[in-house]
A and B are shown apart, each in its own frame.
Chain A
Amino acid sequence: MTTVEKKHPPYMLVWLWLAVLTIIEVWAAQAGLTRRILIPILILLAIWKASLVAIYFMHLKFEPRRFLFVVLAPLPLAVILVVAVLQEWGK
């Protein structure tokens, strides 16, 4: 498969970002913030790190846009399942 020379994102920079974000997460978890602030922060940090890995390390940045449809297909289903079942008792 004669692929054109693949552009490589700055892996080391992404690695640094991931390390920093992990340290912030652990610090925030133990800094005794109230749960109402802590949980959104941690979720945001987790999503940020996860998308960093997905976009740069898994090369989603270089894939055709249509391919994202395949990648993101399961997410809405996961949300539907968890939200619907939480309705059950989450009153």
Chain B
Amino acid sequence: MGADARPQLRMTHGRQVEYGLGVYSGKLGMWVFLCSEVMFFTALIGAYIILRWGSSQSWPDPTKVLNITLTAFNTFLLICSSVSMVKAYAAISHGDQRGLRLWLLATVAGGAAFVGVQVYEYLHLIHDGVLPSGFREGGEIMEALTRAGLPTGGHELFGAAFFTMTGFHGFHVSCGVLCMIWVTIKAFRGHYTQAHHEGIEVIGLYWHFVDLVWIILFTIVYLF
């Protein structure tokens, strides 16, 4: 995703800071793309809010259905991965190639771990009977809710909304991890120097955006 390397574009790059919003093309393009991602998650999270608080349907209590402590750890993991991304950017802006590589590896590890925990949580939930089409009769969750005397109504939509939102967020994190691996390989080849490292900042923007969406998702889906 780094800036285009064609010679004459680099010449025009030099001039563009003067005209645009004072932001080079790669970063501006990524921010415009992130605006469209905000609208995409607006559609999904907006639908969740509307389905949950719009209709009179009762909604199973997420803190009971989902494993909060595991996802809290997962959120912390993603925040650490975000920090390591920023440290990588700070390292290369000081010209520290070794620091860049180490922090990039940490970021990739953090991202992959996050996706791993997410997949584990999915398998655990599906095993317990939380499906996109609703809670499975006789599944672990249905038993637990009925035993605790909690309402199980409206569970048909819970699975659908939960899996769609967190699923697509996981998909975006996985794409981010793949791009990060590609950037790390280029970093090991010395592609980024102190003078030219837009690629790191652009992938960093995407990574922090994905972390930002997770912060909102974690609060709305898991804690309410």
Contacts and interface: CB of A to CB of B under 8 A. Distances in A.
Contacts of B87: 11
A37 interface: no
Contacts of A57: 82-83, 85-86, 204, 208, 211
Nearest to A2: B195
B72 A26 contact: yes
Given A15-B80, A85-B46, A90-B54, A22 B75 contact: yes
A30 B79 CA distance: 21
Interface stretch (B16-24, B120-128, B142-150): B16-24
Interface residues of A, number: 51
A29 to B, nearest CB: 4
Interface string B26-50: 0010011011101100100010011
Contact of A63 (B23, B56, B195): B23
A84 to B, nearest CB: 10
Contacts of A23: 72
B181 interface: no
B205 interface: yes
Contact of A18 (B50, B54, B79): B79
A31 to B, nearest CB: 11
Contacts of A82: 42, 46, 49-50
Interface stretch (B110-118, B157-165, B182-190, B216-224): B216-224
B63 to A, nearest CB: 6
B80 to A, nearest CB: 7
A58 to B, nearest CB: 5
A77 B39 contact: yes
B76 interface: yes
B152 to A, nearest CB: 19
A72 B3 CA distance: 24
Given A67-B21, A70-B32, 6 more contacts: A1-B14, A53-B215, A64-B22, A66-B21, A74-B36, A89-B56
20 contacts: A1-B24, A1-B195, A22-B75, A22-B79, A25-B219, A42-B223, A45-B219, A53-B215, A58-B209, A67-B21, A67-B23, A70-B35, A71-B35, A73-B35, A78-B39, A81-B42, A82-B50, A85-B46, A86-B50, A86-B53
Interface of A: 1-3, 5-6, 8, 11-12, 14-15, 18-19, 22-23, 25-26, 28-30, 38-39, 42-43, 45-46, 49-50, 53-54, 56-59, 63-64, 66-67, 70-71, 73-75, 77-78, 81-82, 85-86, 88-90
